[in-house]
Amino acid sequence: MKLIRTMALFALCAMCVPFSRADEGMWLFSNPPYKILQDKYHFRPSPDWLEHVQKSSVRFNSGGSGSFVSADGLIMTNHHVGADCLQKISTKERDYVKTGFSALSYAQEPKCVDLELNVLMSIEDVTSQVAGAVKPGMDSAAAEAARRAAINTIEKESRDKTGLRSNVIALYNGGQYHLYRYKRYTDVRLVFAPQQAIAFFGGDPDNFEYPRYDLDICFFRAFENDKPVHVEHYLKWSETGAAEGDLVFVSGNPGRTERLDTVAHIEYQRDYSLPGALNVLRRREVLLRGYSERSTENARRAEDELFGIQNSRKALLGMLAGLQDPAIIEKKRAAEKSLQGAVEKDPKLQQAYGAAWDQVAATIKTLVKIRDEYNLVGYGPAKRAQALNSDLFDIAITLLRLPVETAKPNPERLREYSEAALDSLKLHLFSEAPIYEDLETVKLADSLGMMVEMMGADNEMVKKVLAGKSPRDRAAELVSGTKLKDVAVRKRLAEGGLKAVNDSNDPMIQLARLIDPASRRIRQTFEQQVEEPQREAYSKIANARFAVYGSSVYPDATFTLRLAFGEAKGYVEGGQKIPWATTLGGTYEHANAHQNKEPFELPKIWQERKRQLNLATPFNFVSTADITGGNSGSPVINRQGELVGIIFDGNIESLVLDYIYSDQQARAVAVHSAGILEALRKVYAANRLVGELTGKK
Amino acid sequence: MKLIRTMALFALCAMCVPFSRADEGMWLFSNPPYKILQDKYHFRPSPDWLEHVQKSSVRFNSGGSGSFVSADGLIMTNHHVGADCLQKISTKERDYVKTGFSALSYAQEPKCVDLELNVLMSIEDVTSQVAGAVKPGMDSAAAEAARRAAINTIEKESRDKTGLRSNVIALYNGGQYHLYRYKRYTDVRLVFAPQQAIAFFGGDPDNFEYPRYDLDICFFRAFENDKPVHVEHYLKWSETGAAEGDLVFVSGNPGRTERLDTVAHIEYQRDYSLPGALNVLRRREVLLRGYSERSTENARRAEDELFGIQNSRKALLGMLAGLQDPAIIEKKRAAEKSLQGAVEKDPKLQQAYGAAWDQVAATIKTLVKIRDEYNLVGYGPAKRAQALNSDLFDIAITLLRLPVETAKPNPERLREYSEAALDSLKLHLFSEAPIYEDLETVKLADSLGMMVEMMGADNEMVKKVLAGKSPRDRAAELVSGTKLKDVAVRKRLAEGGLKAVNDSNDPMIQLARLIDPASRRIRQTFEQQVEEPQREAYSKIANARFAVYGSSVYPDATFTLRLAFGEAKGYVEGGQKIPWATTLGGTYEHANAHQNKEPFELPKIWQERKRQLNLATPFNFVSTADITGGNSGSPVINRQGELVGIIFDGNIESLVLDYIYSDQQARAVAVHSAGILEALRKVYAANRLVGELTGKK
């Protein structure tokens, strides 16, 4: 499971059986599943418990989750979440990803270059302001503009008033809008990382598998004013950790689910979206593998990106396999018919919501038409242009748009240039993260090649982009010609405003200028003709569900803080009992079973210190908690609010869970808090860290 | 460069400048390039020289070339050509591919399970019979049937008369038809193979690269009646081998070039064929990589197939990159216009050939429409059904068609069931090559998934194929349910005729029966509406070329024996001089430069015996000879008809050579005969083999 928000699509039972006894749901902290918890586990989280867990939870904006684990701003997440920072501070000589790191003092803790962490401080319902901005009779374009203006304004006012990062979140697919306010940390430093060989032991073959033996952890520390922050809320470390049968909670940021999607929408995922995404992922995987195999240094440069691609590929393949199962689609169709039937029976519901399914279907038709161009050249927040797969291009188009957008009144700006969003945008725009010319060239050349394939060699835009050259030659020319690798150059262009950008003869800026009009146009088409009408239609469907099934339901995932829950327990697969937990000793057996060969080769220090370890200590364990991509690094918490583990993966059966929730086989996979402590003590002798975690300094 | 006949597309200068001084051309043994050789190299091959080289040359029907190198039937080819046999005789316990092999006696030489070798014995022009079978006024369907009937008949009569394998080859894209008669060897045994680590030293990163350091060789022996064959023609081994500047010849079987293609046809390759083929290759590469990484045994099972996929992917990417260069298409367009202009100027030519280009364009339009279905379910010789990527399916559909086709009169049969073709068909149908259920399931599941993606989940055929199950479940059910893994079962079905097949409830036979009607229909559409009219149109274009530029030209490659020539010489790349040859010593330096890590890890014995070696011995070398996929294993021969090396690859620049011939940078890469001998003597102490090669037993 991984930072990249893999597309989870839907779960059949979600919301249709709101009082299910299953351990289902990614619940809002403002609307926890009191009744299910009470009925099934006889537990009712107190307001203090909830606030403590909420404010101990940390979002990694690079795409994962984490939690405070000491009063001195110590934060734990997964190694594969921390890898974004590790990769960016590594060099040929010092590879933090591969060799790991352990700081002996605050002074030794190196700073991440562009990592932003968020802690959720408050939730406010702003549905009436956002939904009210859209007046009856507005067309989609006007509605989209009005809604965007309302959101930009609410966020700016909140930020001005509180100083907190402020985001309006569309929940229930637009059925509700909540204002989330975050404390923001941007001085984040590395405290401890194990070697990748044990953090990602078993590699791609073991990814999304269980039983598992991974020390997928990484510790950071939040600083302010060059000092460790002191936090009121952090999770106490449970030295014994979870036991079989325990009720556990997962507090984290599931990235995206589409459990509310109509059948037409799901069929779009099956027929276009997932196959298309997989083709691009496979293409990039083969490309980066080829690049990586040429030398150790190449492998290091591409490592984090390649891992992300492989991780997404495996996740999406699992999802597509689920959607290609005719039985699943049939069940989903039956559920949709059942809800539609209930709506049709009630003239008032039918009048208000009956047309919503057709409205979604109409947007899908538009989407099918525009999707290739949107994917290739559309550019926006969390949406890169597939035809221009280059960090330098991203920088160029961001620089190009910056003076244009900031010259507009705040309500009219593209979302990522609104007043409230600019801090985070600039953090990335001026990041000192290394950019490797050879890797940039390889990626850009391949993506330009894809542009030729998909848009056609005779397309006017393609011809202009290639400027009479082959994709390889053109990419080499662009990457070697641009000066945007230099952060000072970027800052100078940003400070120089519109004139500086217009006067620039940087080839990458010129390329961005060439792409920008088409890129804006197709994004606008998507936002006005797909996103906005979908939002309106899905808001109707959500309200129909509320009306038919009641309101104690959870919304689809939105990469915001949610509470999941479940039981630590094993399962049966192919007639075989899979245990709830593995042990440290099992790690060595697993390595031996694979001839200790990469990716099953343990770090030397793990071999050397084997004898010191209590091999019976639990290492990884599974629970029935409902998670998905983005939950990586989420703390696993017991009734007492103590940390008993850290989520790092879901098993292969959990990929199907995105369509049909089931706790039969689907499991969330976590590192056990006792196993972590044993490894830190005996393998790494990380006494400083252990002292801080256990409060016995 | 590899067995799989990678699609080489065209070379600009081919045939438009027939008396080019470039070392261009894959020449017929019946029409060698006397004039160029005389003018440039002052050499005229004698009839004896030509016959000797022709009859010493061996075609590996698994997709490569080779040559006799002793009177006792010893044959040398590449390790990567021999790998097909090595893979099929290997087991978990004895991996010939990885660990190599050296026989100490005839008795120790293990037999390949389904390898067929061909030696070209005679060439006869049968153009008038084949072309004459198509009467004016016939439509495409009738013309295709008439042409097929003529070919089936000629082949059968030849085989009945001579006992030799007889194939009618369409040369010059149908401008001429020649009858090739081959001596056929099917008892072929392994004599020597080095470890894969040195045979494919540098792996995928070094594939299609130079300088290079590969011992890509493998020795087999042809047997008849359980005794080594005695051959009159074999190549004498040159112990000194090629020297810089030498004129060298390459006698082998280039697989396919499309140098005569029209611009419309080339644009089809650029826009559809190559991108589509690459998507499938990438998909399979990622699939087999994932499968292979799960265990050493998995890696062994998938090894040869994965190598073939990676090899094709790298080749096709190079070709596509060339076609995406606007300059190349522009030049090709100019050449086409020049030929068309010459035709238009002559009313007789215009009348006879003027319409040909439009005729090709019309077939391309049809091809674009049918290509997905043809690729997915079309099945025929050298054409598997992409949607059913399974050896067991191939066996099933072959068994299904066998009684149906053999019941027809010979002229009416599908080509691969004609009397002359049945021997080779049955060799494969009843092959004892291992079939691994897990690998079959993985491949079939993925290809069924692709079928759903491309044909749609609601397609009636798709629904019937899946039978209500997911692709994964359906594949598992089919593979575990079929009995066709057992060769005895196949033989029983084949002997039982139509009734046995009709009565069979084997699930794979039933699947084949489901697919067969659509599969035959789309193949017929392709053969009648694309292949036949293309053949007619290209035959006009070929004749137009003869008329305008003269007749001393060579045809496109057809995986039949050709003679290429060139000079052993280096080249300049990026301002750097690349030497004509590498040395054995360079191998160790290259390994060190890559930290001796796979795929740059030398076998232990190469490290141990380094001191014994003369490190200055030439190891690999390059020449300007015009080659392509299928030439792998071709002997490199000097003026005296001695073997001075063996082709195993082309450099990256040679991929472009398929569009624009140039001897500036494009080079054929060979292992040097002196390097081979030094390694066999000093590293492998293969005294028996060395004695046989040098005649000093």
pLDDT in tens, A194-217: 999 999 999 999 999 999 999 999
Copy the structure tokens of residue A634: 């989420």
* Residue B664 confidence (pLDDT): 78
Q: Give the closest of B285, B453, B595 to A275, CB-based.
A: B453
- Decide if B319 touches A, using CB distance below 8 A: no
Please report, in angstroms and rounded to a whole number, the separation of the first and last CA atoms in chain B.
33
Beta bridge partners of A182: A120, A165
Whether the pLDDT of residue B240 is over 70: the answer is: yes
Contact criterion met (CB < 8 Å) for B325 and A282: no
For residue B379, which of B335, B408, B415 has the smallest C-alpha distance? Answer: B415
Q: Which residues of B touch A473 (CB under 8 A)?
A: 325
Which residues in chain A have Cβ-Cβ distances shorter than 8 Å to B468? 326-327
By C-alpha distance, the chain A residue nearest B454 is A271
Query: Which residue of B lies nearest to A329 if distances are taken between CA atoms?
Result: B457
- At B9 the pLDDT is 25
State how far the alpha carbon of A333 is from the alpha carbons of A136, A142, A261, A364, A663, in Å: 31, 33, 11, 17, 22
Helix (H) or strand (E) holding A695: none
Judged by a CB distance cut-off of 8 A, whether residue A163 touches chain B is: no
Q: Is the pLDDT of residue A8 over 70?
A: no
The tokens 């998934």 sit on which residue?
A: B449
Tell me: ipTM over 0.90. Answer: yes
Mean pLDDT of A75-101: 97
Q: Is A139 left (phi over 0), alpha (psi -120 to 50) or beta?
A: beta
What was the pLDDT predicted at B175? 86
| Span B362-399, pLDDT tens digits | 999 999 999 999 999 999 987 899 999 999 999 999 99
Report the share of chain A in percent with pLDDT over 70: 96
Nearest-angstrom CA–CA distance, B560 and B171: 10
Q: Which of B285, B457, B469 sits opposite A286 (nearest CB)?
A: B285
A329 contacts in B (CB within 8 Å)?
457
Best-predicted range by mean pLDDT (A9-13, A134-138, A446-450, B21-25): A446-450
CB B234 within 8 A of CB B71: yes
Q: What is the pLDDT of residues B505-542, one digit of tens each?
A: 999 999 999 999 999 999 999 999 999 999 999 999 99
Domains of chain B: 34-116+186-252+558-647+666-694 (2.40.10.120)
Minimal C-alpha gap between A622 and chain B (Å): 22
Using a 10 angstrom Cβ sphere, with 0-12 exposed, 13-18 middle and 19 or more buried, the burial of residue A107 is exposed
Cβ distance of B286 and A205 shorter than 8 Å: no
B324-342: average pLDDT: 91
- Pairwise CA distance, residues A112 & B465, whole Å: 53
- What confidence score (pLDDT) does residue B363 get? 97
pLDDT for residue A12: 28
- CB contact, 8 Å: A594 with chain B? yes
- Higher per-residue confidence, B483 vs A657: B483
Residue A166 falls in which region: left (phi positive, over 0), alpha (psi -120 to 50) or beta: beta
In this predicted structure, what is the pLDDT of residue A2?
42
pLDDT range class, residue B331, cuts 50, 70, 90: confident
DSSP characters over B423-452: HHHHHHHT------HHHHHHHHHHHHHHHH
Helices (H), A324-384: 326-345, 347-353, 356-377
The verdict on a CB contact (< 8 Å) between A325 and B469 is yes
The reply to whether residue B205 touches residue A468, judged by beta carbons under 8 angstroms, is: no
Contacts of B327 in chain A (CB under 8 A): 468-470
Does the distance separating the beta carbons of A473 and B295 come in below 8 Å?
no
CB-CB: which of B327, B449, B595 is closest to A296?
Answer: B595
Q: What is the pLDDT of residues B554-590, one digit of tens each?
A: 899 999 999 999 999 999 988 899 999 999 999 999 9
For the stretch A490-544, pLDDT in tens is 999 999 999 999 999 999 999 999 999 999 999 999 999 999 999 999 999 999 9
| Mean pLDDT score across all residues of chain A | 93
pLDDT tens profile A112-124: 999 999 999 999 9
Q: Which of chain B's residues have a Cβ under 8 Å away from the Cβ of A466? A: 326
Give the mean pLDDT of B80-87: 97
CB within 8 Å: B275 and A469: no
Residue A18 confidence (pLDDT) above 60:
no
> Is 60 exceeded by the pLDDT of residue B643?
yes
B-chain residues near A325 (CB < 8 A): 469-470, 473
Q: How confident is the model at residue B256 (pLDDT cuts 50, 70, 90)?
A: confident
Residues 186-205 of A with CB under 8 A from B: 203-205
Could you say which of B271, B293, B470 has the minimum Cβ distance to residue A325? B470
Tokens for A451?
A: 């542009």
pLDDT tier at B259, thresholds 50, 70, 90: confident
Listed in sequence order, the residues at least 6 apart from A259 whose beta carbon sits closer than 8 Å to its beta carbon are A8, A9, A10, A11, A14, A15, A556, A658
- What's the confidence (pLDDT) of residue A642? 98
Pick from B324, B328, B458, B460 the residue to mutate for testing the A interface (most A CBs within 10 Å).
B324
Tell me if B324 and A289 make a contact (CB, 8 A cut-off).
no
* Alpha helices (H) in B200-251, listed in sequence order: 203-206
Give the pLDDT confidence of A584-643 residue by residue, as tens digits: 999 999 999 999 999 999 999 999 999 999 999 999 999 999 999 999 999 999 999 999
- Residues whose CB is less than 8 angstroms from the CB of residue B61 and which lie 6 or more positions away in sequence, other chains included: B115, B116, B117, B118, B424
In this structure, what DSSP letter does residue B368 have?
H
Are A535 and A558 within 8 A, CB to CB? Answer: no
- Report the range of poorest mean pLDDT among A249-253, A327-331, A588-592, B156-160: A327-331
Is the CA virtual torsion A246, A250, A254, A258 positive or negative? positive
pLDDT (average), residues B154-159: 97
pLDDT at B550: 79
Helix and strand totals (H; E) in chain A: 27, 20
**Model-level pTM greater than 0.90?**
yes
d(CA A230, CA A183): 13
Reported confidence tier of residue A6, pLDDT bands at 50, 70, 90: very low
